[in-house]
């Protein structure tokens, strides 16, 4: 229905009355008159509705051109009249008159714009002309603002006012803001007028002003004063922008001022003599450094100048500290106090710059990088690795830190963190480990450490920094102390007066003395009793006694009758042996003392000089001077007096003796031999590990990878790596590629030919040499588990048993082989004894020999006509086999198999009490024990003191593969005299002449190295008890009671009166 309806549309009314030209002109005249009234400030008489309608009709009837051009002409005429008034204004009133004209013009243009609003909306947009208001601004700019007699005067007045304000004068900032705002508005939605008529010239004059200002400040002020005034200038310019300049000027103005005041003079400020960065670092000028950082951060490139100053200062200061400490060492004025001061200076230097990072430099990452890493090296690393003195003094500082009992636990941990921070900069961390181990040994044996918790806390931090292998020996030393306690709990049931410390060879940094001193018989008897107890528990081990590291407390009586004076003398074990001789006769010649005691002449002279020093003078010598001749005669000083009851006789320092105690405490000038030897093994092990994985590798790549793997312990030199590569090539671990000599190939080794049975005479089994296989596959095995091509190589001179380390050629014992064919010979008896208490595996390649291996070994032993050898020591394994190739790899440095044990502790000799006799009878019924008897007291020609209550304590130290540097006067041999301590049937074969000179030298080197390791595993020292010194009517020296077991003092003897 709706669809059929017709819509009715009402059209709007249209005025069809047109406007001709005459009508349009008449309308325009009315509008022109109205605009004139607006310019004359008579707008209140006008009807804006009528004016708007007239302009609307003109535009509607196509007379917009007449209207637009007429308005422009009318405004131009008015601005010409206004320009005359501005031009006639004086300099003082120019900006005021200009701004008044500008204000009047903007008001009138606003009214005119409102009248002509329809024209702006239609005509202007269609004809692409400027809006009438914008046109009015352009006309004002051309007629007034850029009038030749106004433009330059206005610019000069603006810049002059700014210059006056910079020099401290007051100006009318309001007028400045209005004028500059006018220039911005005249740009018609752009800053072109503002930039062209003011800003460009303003920035140019600003650069000139601050260039001169910066030079004046540099000439007249220190660096802190310059920065303070520069900061003030930057603040003033910022406020100037906020007050009257356009915001677009701020970044440009800021860049110019920062360039002239900071960037152009940053290096001069940093390096300013007496007040630059060096002086600020030295005097801790935190506020000045903070201001410098804030200023320089405005120009990021200048931060490099501060970073360079930081780098230079840290390196220079560190090198000066190291050089000063080295000078003290060279002048022999270096001491523990100077070492502590050196480390404290390093810690202060580190703390200072870490403090600067947070308080001055806001933890800026750029400065973290500057401090923690320089251009190539760590800044601290750059000077801390110039000398091994740093590693030594750092270990000495930790030693003092842990010996101090006044520190709280929190303070101790805080200081330990700082020390570990310095330790992190060391590249030769293994050198630090060597010295730290020596100091730790002295602390443990002297019981001078703060607490076990403190010691373990430091070790835990070192382990976190370098890994478990770095601290394995340090932790082993603590295990020894705990095991010693358990051992003594059992031994005290037999002899409660004896205190012994049992130490593992390889953990403790000690070595045996070359002197086999003759100790008093009474002391030796107590030593034998302890050995009986120890060997009853630990069969197959060897104890080594430390002679030259002991001490003894002796109660000595000087004078006669009423003038008799008693003193308790603390002397070394060798001095004790010397003083005991005077119980036999009153005078002794040097040669007789040396023959009687068996002490090395160098050590004997040192200990005698210590007894003859003017300060103590316990012993008198016939000759004068500081030297001792072979014919010098020595007697006891009967007139000895001292204000102290307890007198300690220190050993004189003899700096030419590398084996002395002082040399161990002295800072090193060369790499310790033990560290150098360990480095060889570490480098070789790293090379083999890498080549075993890569199979083939270029020389440069191998060098880089080895260095990367060993950086956590030390930085090997290219020469060292090259020498180790050559050594491995000689030993057939690596081969050179025939076509490319710089390409190395890893060598897989197996053994060739068959296995020869034992001949009827029971001689050695002949083995054939091994050969290199091209493929990596394991050889096939036959029924007995022996590979078809896997048999032993020929035993050569110098080769030792892989278990007992005895020479294979000289020892008349049956030999066997690893069932996998790893290339290792063993004595059958050693294998049986070893496998009786362990899994039946090859001790080198760790291959399981199977359940029947032990029975097969016993059958082989039955075939032999030789008697099995009972070995007294078991040495650590020198390497292990690669299961994939059947090749022995390099030995493990930190993990040792079955280390030998040595002793350290105190022995107390005294009469057996009833309870003790009961205990001895009880122990005698047990296997491996015999009742102890009192020591036999030797008869002396002089009056013998009362020995009804005799006690003695001594220290049994340990041996190690590392040389000891506690005794400067004693030359430490490369091998310890183990033949004096081992079984009588153990002999050592000297190197035999080989068919080839090269082969002879190689075998000799291998034999010497293994012989050293064997001797060191059985080395040690001893200091013994019981002695009386004196003569009839003269002073009598008795053993005194002391409870201080220590590694560097050795035997401590005591005897009650």
> Distance of CA 325 to CAs 120, 312, 328, 392, Å?
89, 20, 5, 12
Residues 6+ apart with CB under 8 A from 248: 191, 194, 199
- What is the pLDDT, as a whole number, of residue 654? 54
- What is the pLDDT, as a whole number, of residue 826? 60
Do residues 317 and 380 touch, judged by C-beta distance below 8 A?
A: no
For 734-767, the pLDDT digits (tens) are 999 988 889 999 986 543 333 333 334 444 333 3
What is the edge-to-edge ordering of all strands in the sheet holding 619-621? 587-589, 633-636, 619-621
In 818-911, which ranges are continuous DSSP H helix? 828-835, 853-863
Mean pLDDT of 182-208: 93
Instruction: Give me 485's structure tokens.
Output: 């306690």
Residue 165: how many CB atoms within 10 A of its CB? Answer: 17
Q: Tokens 């460009």 belong to which residue?
A: 200
Query: What is the secondary structure of 994-1033 as a DSSP string?
Result: PSSHHHHHHHHHHHHHHHHHHHHHT--BB-----EEE-TT
In angstroms, the CA 264 to CA 994 distance is 77
Q: Tokens 């570990």 belong to which residue?
A: 420
For 39-68, the pLDDT digits (tens) are 988 888 888 899 999 999 999 988 889 999
Instruction: Give me 637's structure tokens.
Output: 């000083």
Which of 838, 760, 843, 774 is CA-nearest to residue 803?
Answer: 843
Q: What is the mean pLDDT of the chain?
A: 72
For helices 64-87 and 132-140, the axis angle rounded to 10 degrees is: 30
Mean pLDDT of 944-967: 30
Pick the most confident of 229-243, 305-319, 454-468, 590-604: 229-243
> Distance of CA 271 to CAs 275, 298, 324, 426, 453, Å?
8, 19, 25, 30, 48
For 819-845, the pLDDT digits (tens) are 444 555 666 666 665 555 444 455 444
Helix (H), strand (E), coil (C) string for 10-55? CCCCCCCCCCCHHHHHHHHHHHHHHHHHHHCCCHHHCCHHHHHHHH
Q: Tokens 């009047």 belong to which residue?
A: 104
- Who wins on pLDDT, 1050 or 998? 998
- What is the pLDDT, as a whole number, of residue 574? 86
Give the three-class secondary structure for 229: helix
- What is the pLDDT, as a whole number, of residue 361? 85
Of the listed ranges 235-244, 417-426, 538-547, the least confidently predicted one is 538-547
Of the listed ranges 125-134, 515-524, 540-549, the least confidently predicted one is 515-524
In 538-647, which ranges are continuous DSSP H helix? 573-581, 590-597, 601-612
- What is the pLDDT, as a whole number, of residue 805? 57
How many helices (DSSP H) and strands (DSSP E) are in the chain? Answer: 37, 19
- What is the pLDDT, as a whole number, of residue 217? 93
Q: Where does residue 46 rank: exposed (0-12), middle (13-18), buried (19+ CB within 10 A)?
A: middle
288 φ/ψ sector (left φ>0, alpha ψ -120 to 50, else beta): alpha
In 908-1054, which ranges are continuous DSSP H helix? 914-924, 997-1017
Instruction: Give me 67's structure tokens.
Output: 């209207």
For 558-587, the pLDDT digits (tens) are 877 777 888 888 888 788 888 888 888 888
- Who wins on pLDDT, 664 or 815? 815
Q: Are strands 565-572 and 646-648 parallel, antiparallel or unpaired?
A: parallel
- What is the pLDDT, as a whole number, of residue 528? 82
Chain-centre distance for alpha carbon 464: 12
| Confidence band of 797 (pLDDT split at 50, 70, 90) | low
- What is the pLDDT, as a whole number, of residue 209? 95
For 595-616, the pLDDT digits (tens) are 888 888 888 888 888 888 888 8
- Who wins on pLDDT, 907 or 801? 801
Helix (H), strand (E), coil (C) string for 262-315? CHHHHHHHHCCCCCCHHHHHHHCCHHHHHHHHHHHHCCHHHHHHHHHHHHHHHH
* pTM for the whole structure: 0.60
Instruction: Give me 832's structure tokens.
Output: 């049986």
Which of 125, 256, 255, 106 is CA-nearest to residue 181?
Answer: 106
- What is the pLDDT, as a whole number, of residue 354? 82
> Which domains does the chain possess?
21-149 (1.20.1310.10), 304-477 (1.20.1310.10), 487-546+900-1039 (no CATH)
Residue 810: how many CB atoms within 10 A of its CB? Answer: 14
- Who wins on pLDDT, 403 or 945? 403
Helix (H), strand (E), coil (C) string for 57-118? HHHHCCCHHHHHHHHHHHHHHHHHHHHHHHHCCCCCCHHHHHHHHHHHHHHHHHHHHHHCHH
Instruction: Give me 767's structure tokens.
Output: 């083995």
Pick the most confident of 135-139, 870-874, 1026-1030: 135-139
pLDDT at 796 over 70: no
| Confidence band of 643 (pLDDT split at 50, 70, 90) | confident
- What is the pLDDT, as a whole number, of residue 691? 92
pLDDT at 179 over 90: yes
Q: Tokens 């790293």 belong to which residue?
A: 686
In angstroms, the CA 398 to CA 442 distance is 13
Q: What angle is formed at CA 65 by the lines to CA 14 and CA 17, rounded to 5 degrees?
A: 20
| Confidence band of 404 (pLDDT split at 50, 70, 90) | confident
* Host H or E run for residue 734: strand 734-736
> Distance of CA 878 to CAs 674, 768, 843, 894, Å?
16, 22, 10, 11
- What is the pLDDT, as a whole number, of residue 919? 38
Pick the most confident of 219-233, 514-528, 661-675: 219-233
- What is the pLDDT, as a whole number, of residue 332? 60
pLDDT at 173 over 90: yes
Q: What angle is formed at CA 393 by the lines to CA 388 and CA 396, rounded to 5 degrees?
A: 135
Q: Where does residue 79 rank: exposed (0-12), middle (13-18), buried (19+ CB within 10 A)?
A: buried
The neighbouring-strand residues paired with 554 are 569, 1039
In angstroms, the CA 295 to CA 232 distance is 11
| Confidence band of 6 (pLDDT split at 50, 70, 90) | low
- What is the pLDDT, as a whole number, of residue 804? 62
* Host H or E run for residue 375: none
> Distance of CA 1044 to CAs 476, 503, 585, 904, Å?
22, 16, 31, 11
- Who wins on pLDDT, 972 or 177? 177
Q: How many CA atoms lie within 13 A of 57 on its CB side?
A: 20
Percent of the chain with pLDDT over 70: 64
Do residues 770 and 793 touch, judged by C-beta distance below 8 A?
A: yes
């Amino acid at each position: 229905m709706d669809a059929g309806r017709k819509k009715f549309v009402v059209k709007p009314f249209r005025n069809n009355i047109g406007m001709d030209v005459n009508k349009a002109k008449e309308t325009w005249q009315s509008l022109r008159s109205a605009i004139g009234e607006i310019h004359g400030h008579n707008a209140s008489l006008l009807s804006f509705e009528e004016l708007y309608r007239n302009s609307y009709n003109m535009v509607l009837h196509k007379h917009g051109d007449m209207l637009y051009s007429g308005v422009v002409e009318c405004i131009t005429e008015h601005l010409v009249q206004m320009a005359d008034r501005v031009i006639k204004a004086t300099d003082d009133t120019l900006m005021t008159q200009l701004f008044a004209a500008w204000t009047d013009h903007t008001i009138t243009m606003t009214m005119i714009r409102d009248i002509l609003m329809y024209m702006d909306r239609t005509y202007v947009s269609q004809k692409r002309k400027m809006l009438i208001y914008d046109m009015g601004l352009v006309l004002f700019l051309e007629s007034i603002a850029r009038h030749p007699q106004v433009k330059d005067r206005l610019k000069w007045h603006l810049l002059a006012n700014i210059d006056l304000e910079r020099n401290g004068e007051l100006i009318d900032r309001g007028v400045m803001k209005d004028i500059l705002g006018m220039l911005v508005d005249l740009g018609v939605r752009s800053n072109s007028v503002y930039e062209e008529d003011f800003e460009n010239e303003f920035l140019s004059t600003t650069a000139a002003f601050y260039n001169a200002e910066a030079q004046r400040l540099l000439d007249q002020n220190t660096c802190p004063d310059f920065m303070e005034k520069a900061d003030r200038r930057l603040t003033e310019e910022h406020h100037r922008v906020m007050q009257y300049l356009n915001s677009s000027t701020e970044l440009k103005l800021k860049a110019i001022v920062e360039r002239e005041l900071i960037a152009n003079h940053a290096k001069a400020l940093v390096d300013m003599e007496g007040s630059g960065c060096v002086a600020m670092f030295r005097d801790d000028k935190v506020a000045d450094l903070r201001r410098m950082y804030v200023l320089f951060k405005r120009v990021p490139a200048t931060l490099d100048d501060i970073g360079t100053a930081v780098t230079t200062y840290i390196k220079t200061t560190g090198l000066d500290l190291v050089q000063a400490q080295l000078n003290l060492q060279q002048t022999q004025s270096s001491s523990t106090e100077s070492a502590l001061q050196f480390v404290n200076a390093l810690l202060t230097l580190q703390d200072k710059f870490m403090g600067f990072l947070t308080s001055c430099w806001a933890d800026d990452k750029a400065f973290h990088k500057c401090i923690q890493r320089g251009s190539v090296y760590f800044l601290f690393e750059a000077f801390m690795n110039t000398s091994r003195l740093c590693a030594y003094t750092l270990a000495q500082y930790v030693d003092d830190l842990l010996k101090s009992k006044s520190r709280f636990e929190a303070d101790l941990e805080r200081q330990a963190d700082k020390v570990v921070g310095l330790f992190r900069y060391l590249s030769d961390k293994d050198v630090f480990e060597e010295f730290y181990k020596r100091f730790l040994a002295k602390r443990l044996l002297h019981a001078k450490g703060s607490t076990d918790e403190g010691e373990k806390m430091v070790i835990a931090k070192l382990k976190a920094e370098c890994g478990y292998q770095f601290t394995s020996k340090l932790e082993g030393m603590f295990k020894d102390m705990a095991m010693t306690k358990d051992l003594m709990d059992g031994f005290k049931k037999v002899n409660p007066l004896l205190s012994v410390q049992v130490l593992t060879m390889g953990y403790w940094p000690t070595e045996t003395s070359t002197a086999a001193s003759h100790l008093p018989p009474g002391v030796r008897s107590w030593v034998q009793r302890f050995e009986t107890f120890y060997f009853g528990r630990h069969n197959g081990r060897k104890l080594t006694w430390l002679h030259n590291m002991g001490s003894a407390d002796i109660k000595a009586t000087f004078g006669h009758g009423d003038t008799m004076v008693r003193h308790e003398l603390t002397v070394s074990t060798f001095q004790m042996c010397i003083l005991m001789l005077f119980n036999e006769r009153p005078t002794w010649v040097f040669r007789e003392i040396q023959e009687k005691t068996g002490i090395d002449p160098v050590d004997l002279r040192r200990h005698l000089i210590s007894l003859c020093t003017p300060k103590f003078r316990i012993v008198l010598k016939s000759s004068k001077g500081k030297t001792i001749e072979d014919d010098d005669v020595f007697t006891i000083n009967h007139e000895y007096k001292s204000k102290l009851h307890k007198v300690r006789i220190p050993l004189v320092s003899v700096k030419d003796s590398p084996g002395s105690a002082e040399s161990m405490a002295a800072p090193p000038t060369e790499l310790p031999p033990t560290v150098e030897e360990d480095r060889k093994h570490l480098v070789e092990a790293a090379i083999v590990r890498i080549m075993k994985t890569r199979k083939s590798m270029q020389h440069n790549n191998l060098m880089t990878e080895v260095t990367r793997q060993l950086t956590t312990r030390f930085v090997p030199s290219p020469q060292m790596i090259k020498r180790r590569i050559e050594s491995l090539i000689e030993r057939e671990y690596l081969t050179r590629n025939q076509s490319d000599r710089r390409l190395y190939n890893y060598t897989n080794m197996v053994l060739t030919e068959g296995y020869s049975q034992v001949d009827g005479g029971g001689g050695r089994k002949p083995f054939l040499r091994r050969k290199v296989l091209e493929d990596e596959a394991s050889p096939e095995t036959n029924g007995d588990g022996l590979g078809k091509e896997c048999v032993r190589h020929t035993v050569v001179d110098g080769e030792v048993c892989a278990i007992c380390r005895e020479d294979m050629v000289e020892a008349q014992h049956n030999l066997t082989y690893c069932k996998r064919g790893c290339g290792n010979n063993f004595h059958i008896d050693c294998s049986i004894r070893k496998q009786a208490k362990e899994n039946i595996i090859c001790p080198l390649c760790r291959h399981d020999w199977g359940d029947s291996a032990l029975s097969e070994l016993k059958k082989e032993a039955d075939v032999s006509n030789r008697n099995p050898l009972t070995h007294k020591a078991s040495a650590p394994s020198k390497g292990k086999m690669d299961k994939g190739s059947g090749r022995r790899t390099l030995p493990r440095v930190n993990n040792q198999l079955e280390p030998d044990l040595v002793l350290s502790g105190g022995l107390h000799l005294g009469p057996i009490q009833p309870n003790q006799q009961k205990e001895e009878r009880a122990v005698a019924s047990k296997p491996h024990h015999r009742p102890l008897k009192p020591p036999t007291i030797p008869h002396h020609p002089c009056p013998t003191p009362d020995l009804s209550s005799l006690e003695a304590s001594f220290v049994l130290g340990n041996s190690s593969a590392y040389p000891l540097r506690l005794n400067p006067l004693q030359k430490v041999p490369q091998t310890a005299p183990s033949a004096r301590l081992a079984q009588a049937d153990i002999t050592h074969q000297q190197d035999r002449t080989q068919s080839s000179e090269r082969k002879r030298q190689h075998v000799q080197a291998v034999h010497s190295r293994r012989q050293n390791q064997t001797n060191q595993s059985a080395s040690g020292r001893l200091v013994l008890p019981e002695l009386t010194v004196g003569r009839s009517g003269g002073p009598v020296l008795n053993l005194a009671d002391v409870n201080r077991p220590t590694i560097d003092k050795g035997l401590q003897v005591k005897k009650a009166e």
